[in-house]
A = this chain, B = another copy of it.
Amino acid sequence: MVRVTPLGRAAVLAVGSELLTPSRVDTNSLFITEQLNLLGVDVLLKTIVGDDRGELAAALRAALARVDLVVCCGGLGPTDDDVTRDVVAQVLDRPLVEDGEVAARIEARFAGRGLRMPGINLRQAMVPAGARVLANGHGTAPGLWVEHGDRLVVLLPGPPRELKPMMAALVDGPLRERTAGLSLVRRVLRITGRTESHTEEAVRTLYAEWARAGVPVAATILASLGQIELHLSARAGRRADADAALDAASSQVVERLGLDVYSSDGRPLEQVVGDLLAARRLRIAVAESCTGGLLASRLTDVPGSSRYVDRGVVVYANDAKTDLLGVPAALLSAHGAVSEPVAVAMAEGIRARAGTDVGIGVTGIAGPGGGTPEKPVGTVAVAAALPDLTRSRLFRFVGGREMVKFQASQAALDMVRRMLVSGARS
């Protein structure tokens, strides 16, 4: 069948009663949107319904009346409240039929883990007649691709680790073939060390210039504790043109903000630091009090981090600081556990004991308890020791316990990054 109209307007339909409670928000649509934007497809509408046949049917009909591509996520599980397959078959007016290959694949998946397949999992092998089955490498629910006149309905499983690779594969293949091939490209510049308004002041005069360019670039600033993001986007017939426009805009921002921009290619701070360490063949060890393991955990979130992470210690109790790091008891009593001298002793102590090139020390008060008038909750001392240089700084963070932990780990990583980039010789 020859198609003349490329898909251009999409709706995302998220299915799950939990998404209608006060504690859960749909985030799958963010990834789906990002992927569709890569093809120049705009999302015009998101709808979220519960595991309810009537509501899902109404929402699907409403979406089909507005757009030419509907991406549904969720409700493909094996249980009674997983109704997406049934409702889509009903709205598109075709029967559900069992797909033998899918059934065999699910059975094999259970067998591979030494488990018997519960009978209810066979529901996942039922597909609307004429649908194309999308393989799921990470779970039992296959995705489905259903053509409906000049409209397309794609069903994806709800768990993000199943949905994301499936969606990405569609964008690389069959979905790309069905769109105009315009590329909407986004880029995120990640920034530390200045506030949202100071970032805005520094870059806002660029906005008008970008808007008038041959390939216009749009910008938005998003701020959260410990991190500012500048989101840029450009749309062009060729992806290379959009990329070039974003390259130019990014360079202008970096010119104005300098080292405060730590990433313009999506890498999180722990990976930027890890890449710097790996490139210089340096090993690191960390000593944490208030961050409680978060700093080590972020460093080790990066694949391959065992090349440069030697060890970490979480020293909550004072005697652990003395035991494991050799922090003198006298230093602790003279300055208090939350102080720059103690952070320095921790950083230099872990560096010496582990025999690594770099050591980090973090000590602070994450709250909600433990604050004093001189050292309120959010007070955190951070130190980094390199072969020829040790730096330390006292921070005052705001926010709850987890936010203080995050900002402290961010400050520690950023201190090491700046020391490595701005040329502590090592």
Contact = CB atoms under 8 A, between A and B. Distances in A.
Given A220-B51, A221-B79, A368 B292 contact: no
Interface string A378-391: 00000000000000
A47 interface: yes
A299 interface: yes
A48 to B, nearest CB: 4
Interface in A390-410: 396, 398-403, 405
A347 to B, nearest CB: 16
Chain A at the B interface: mostly helix, strand, loop or mixed?
mixed
A402 B294 contact: no
A248 interface: no
Copy number in this complex? 2
B65 A58 contact: yes
A2 interface: no
Contact of A310 (B21, B320, B354): B320
Interface string A171-204: 0000000000000001010000001111011001
Interface residues of A, number: 110
Interface stretch (A38-46, A95-103, A235-243, A254-262): A38-46
A320 B354 contact: yes
A201 B115 CA distance: 14
Interface in A58-75: 58-59, 62, 65-66
Interface string A9-48: 0000000111111111111011101100100001111111
What 6 pairs between A and B have smallest CB-CB spacing?
A292-B300, A293-B296, A312-B314, A22-B34, A293-B293, A293-B297
Contacts of A186: 21-22
A265 to B, nearest CB: 14
Interface string A316-353: 11001001100000000000000000000000000001
